[in-house]
Amino acid sequence: MTNPAAVLRAPSRRRNLRRPWIGWLFIAPFGVIFLVFLVAPLVYAFYLSLFSKGLATGTTFSGAGNYVKAFTDPEFLSGIWFVIRFAVILIPIQMAVSLAAALVLDALTTRLSRFARLAIFVPYAIPAVVGTLMWGFLYSPTFGPLTGLFKVVNQSAPEILSSGNIFGGLLNIVVWQWAGYYMIIIYAALRGIDPSLYEAARIDGATPRQIALRIKVPMISSAMVLILVFALIGTLQFFTEPQVLRPISNGSITSSFTPNIYAFDLAFRFSQFNYASTISFSLGIVVFIAVYIFLFASRKRRGGLS
C-alpha cells in the first residue's frame, strides 16, 4: 500500500525523493541511541529471562519457566496489584486538582493568580527524592508539625508512615509533585481556545460554570488524554518515592512493595539477575498493555461522542 497523500505530494519533493537517505541521516544519531539503550536492553532482558541460575546447576535454559514463576509469585502480584490500585485512586484526584486549578487560573488574570500558577508548578522543578525527603520529615512525629498540631486538640498525631496510612502518605507526595506539571499542560491548552467561543456562549445565556464544563473541558480532551497516559505510565513504574521513604517506614514498605522495587532488590540485594530481568520485562509488558487498552478505549469513546 502506498500512501496516496505521499504520491500526490511527490512532484514538489523531487529533490528529496532522489536522495531518500537524507531523512535517515537526520534520524540516525537518535536511531543509534534508540537501538543501544532501548531495543538492546529489552532484547537482552528477554534473553536473560529465559535462563535460570542455580547454585549447584549453574545457568540453565528454562524457557518460559521464569514467567510462570513471576505470574504466580505472590510478591510480584501484590506489587502489581498495589500500583494498579494506586493508579486508580491517584489519577482521578490528580486530574481533579490540576483541572480545577487550571480552570480557575484561566478565568483570572490577577497578580495572585500569576503567583499561584508558579507556586503550583514549582514542585515539578524539585527532584522526587527531595520532595519525598521533605514530606517524610513533615510526616515524622519528631520533625513534623503534626505532633504539635494534634497536641492542641489533645489528640495523638496519626502515624502516616505506618502500614495502614502509607498509601495516603504516598498519594499526597505524588499529587504534590505532579499536579502543577499537569495543570500547566491543561492551562496552556485552555489558552489555545478561541475566546470568541465564550463570547458566543455568553450571548446565548451560558453561565461561567456552563462555559467551563460544556466548552472548555471538551475542547481540551486531547490534553487530558496525554496527561492520563503520562500519569498511568508514571504510576505503574512507581519507584523513587517508596524507595526513599523505605528506611524511615519501619517496614511498612517491603522489598516487594512495587514491581520496580522488587526487581531492584532481586538484582542488587539477592543477585538474582535472571529473575530480576523477568520482573522488569513483565512490568514493561503490563504497562504497555495497560496504556494500549486505555488509548484504545479513550479513542473509541471520543469517536462515539463526536
Q: Tell me if 223 contacts another protein by CB under 8 A.
A: yes
77 near another protein, judged by CB under 8 A: no
Piece of 60-68, 86-94, 123-131, 163-171 that binds another protein (CB under 8 A):
123-131
Q: Which of 4, 8, 11, 15 binds another protein (CB under 8 A)?
A: 15
- For position 152 contacting another protein by CB under 8 A, the verdict is no
298 binds another protein (CB under 8 A): no
User: Whole-angstrom Cα distance, residue 124 to residue 75?
Assistant: 32
Query: 136 Cβ partners below 8 Å, 6+ apart?
Result: 161, 244, 245, 248
Q: Which of 76, 86, 135, 178 binds another protein (CB under 8 A)?
A: 135
Helix/strand/coil for 59? strand
Shortest Cβ distance from residue 60 to another protein (Å)? 18
Q: Select the span of 51-59, 62-70, 72-80, 230-238 touching another protein (CB under 8 A).
A: 230-238
Give the whole-angstrom CA distance, residue 206 versus residue 208: 7
Q: How far apart are CA 103 and CA 214, in angstroms?
A: 12
Q: For the chain, what is the radius of gyration of the CA atoms?
A: 25
Residue from 79, 131, 169, 242 touching another protein (CB under 8 A): that is 131
**What angle in degrees, to the nearest 10, is found between the helix axes of 259-268 and 273-305?**
160
When binding is defined by CB under 8 A, the residue of 185, 228, 231, 253 that contacts another protein is 185
Could you tell me which stretch among 51-59, 71-79, 111-119, 193-201 binds another protein (CB under 8 A)?
Answer: 111-119
Are 103 and 212 in contact, with CB atoms under 8 Å apart?
A: yes
For another protein, the binding residue among 51, 76, 257, 281 (CB under 8 A) is 281
Residue with cell 514491581: 259
- Which helix (H) or strand (E) segment holds residue 60: the answer is strand 58-61
Give me the DSSP letters along 243-274.
HHHGGGTTTSS-TTSSHHHHHHHHHHTS--HH
Nearer to another protein, 17 or 64 (CB): 17
Residue 158 interacts with another protein (CB under 8 A): yes or no: no
Q: Which stretch binds another protein (CB under 8 A): 67-75, 103-111, 193-201, 296-304?
A: 103-111
